[in-house]
Chain A
Amino acid sequence: MSREPIILLDHVTVTYQGLVALEDVSLSVEPGAFLAIIGPNGAGKTTLLKTVLGLLRPVRGTVRVFGKAPWELDGERQRIGYVPQVMAVDLDFPVRAGEVVLMGRYGRIGLVRRPSAADRWAARQALARVGIADLADRPIARLSGGQRQRVFLARALANEPDLLLLDEPTTGVDVVATESLYELLRGLHDEGITILVVSHDVGVVAAYVDMVACINRRMVAHGRPGEMEGEVLSCMYGPEAMFFGHGPVSHMIVVPQDSSEPTQGPSKESG
Chain B
Amino acid sequence: MLELLSYTFMQRALAAGALIGALCAVIGVYVVLKGLSFIGAGIAHASFGGVALGFVLGVNPVLTAIVFCLLTAWGIGLASHKGRIKEDTAVGIFFASTMALGILLVGLTRGYNVDLFGYLFGSILAVTPQDVWATIGLGAMVLVVVGLLFKELLFITFDPEMAEVTGVPAEKLYFLLLSLIAVTIVISIKVVGIVLVSALIVTPAAAAYQLTENFRRMMVLSVVFGVGSTVGGLLLSYWLNTASGATIVLLATLAFFAAAVFSPRRRHYPAS
B20 at the interface (CB under 8 A from A): no
The total of chain B residues at the interface (CB under 8 A) is 30
8 Å CB contact of B272 from A89, A114, A139, A177? A177
In angstroms, Cα B167 to Cα A177, docked, is 31
- Find B165's partner among A77, A100, A143, A145 (CB 8 Å cutoff): A77
CB distance from B206 to the nearest CB of A (A): 12
**Chain B residues within 8 Å of A139, by CB:** 213-214
Q: Chain A interface: which of B40-48, B89-97, B148-156?
A: B148-156
B115 interfacial by beta-carbon distance below 8 Å: no
Say if the beta carbon of B268 comes within 8 Å of chain A: yes
> Which of A94, A95, A141 is packed against the most chain B CB atoms within 10 Å?
A94
Q: Mark A74-113, 1 if CB is under 8 A from B, else 0.
A: 0001101010100011101111100110011111110110
On chain B, the residues within 8 Å of A54 by CB distance are 165
- Choice from B158, B161, B267, B270 contacting A55 with Cβ under 8 Å: B161
Among B212, B214, B268, the most chain A Cβ lie within 10 Å of the Cβ of B214
**A173 near B: Cβ within 8 Å?**
yes
List CB contacts (< 8 Å) of B161-178 with chain A.
161-169
Please measure, in the bound complex, the distance between the C-alpha atom of A155 and the C-alpha atom of B155, giving whole angstroms.
12
For A89, give the chain B residue with the smallest CB separation.
Answer: B159
B contact residues around A106 at 8 Å (CB): 151-152, 155, 163, 166, 168
B162 touching A84 by the CB < 8 A rule? yes
Give A177 to B270 CA distance when docked, in angstroms: 13
Known: A84-B161, A88-B159, A103-B158. A94 touches B209 (CB 8 A): yes
Q: How far is the CA of A159 from the CA of B159 in the complex (A)?
A: 16
Closest CB of chain A to B211's CB: distance in Å?
A: 10
Q: Which of B158, B166, B268, B270 contacts A145 (CB 8 A)?
A: B270
Q: A106-B168, A108-B167, A177-B272 are in contact. Are A94 and B212 (CB under 8 A)?
A: yes
Q: Once the chains bind, are A111 and B213 in contact (CB under 8 Å)?
A: no
B-side contacts of A112, CB under 8 Å? 148-149
Q: Does A32 contact B (CB under 8 A)?
A: no
User: A90 touches which one: B33, B148, B163 (CB < 8 A)?
Assistant: B33
Does the CB pair A95–B158 fall under 8 Å?
Answer: yes
Expressed in whole angstroms, the Cα–Cα distance for A96 and B212 within the complex equals 11
With A78-B167, A107-B167, A112-B149 known as contacts, the answer to whether A142 contacts B215 (CB < 8 A) is no
A-side contacts of B251, CB under 8 Å: none
Q: Which residues of A contact B248 (CB under 8 A)?
A: none
Q: Is the CB of B149 within 8 A of A94?
A: no
B267 with A174: CB separation less than 8 A: no
- Flag whether B180 is at the interface (Cβ < 8 A): no
Contacts of B217 in A (CB 8 A): 94
Shortest Cβ distance from A263 into chain B, in angstroms?
Answer: 26
CA distance A93 to B158 in the complex (A): 7
Q: Would you give the shortest CB distance from B154 to chain A, in whole angstroms? A: 8
Given A112-B149, A145-B272: A104 and B166 within 8 A (CB)?
yes
Told that A82-B166, A107-B165, A139-B214 touch, could you supply 20 new A-B pairs with CB distance under 8 A?
A53-B165, A55-B161, A84-B159, A94-B33, A94-B217, A95-B154, A95-B158, A96-B214, A99-B154, A99-B215, A106-B151, A106-B155, A107-B166, A108-B166, A141-B213, A145-B270, A145-B272, A146-B272, A155-B162, A271-B272
Report 12 cross-chain contacts, Cβ distance below 8 Å, ordered by A residue: A77-B167, A80-B165, A89-B158, A94-B217, A99-B154, A104-B166, A106-B163, A111-B152, A111-B169, A112-B148, A142-B268, A174-B272
Please report A residues at the B interface, Cβ cutoff 8 Å: 53-55, 77-78, 80, 82, 84, 88-90, 92-96, 99-100, 103-109, 111-112, 114-115, 139, 141-146, 155, 159, 172-174, 177, 271
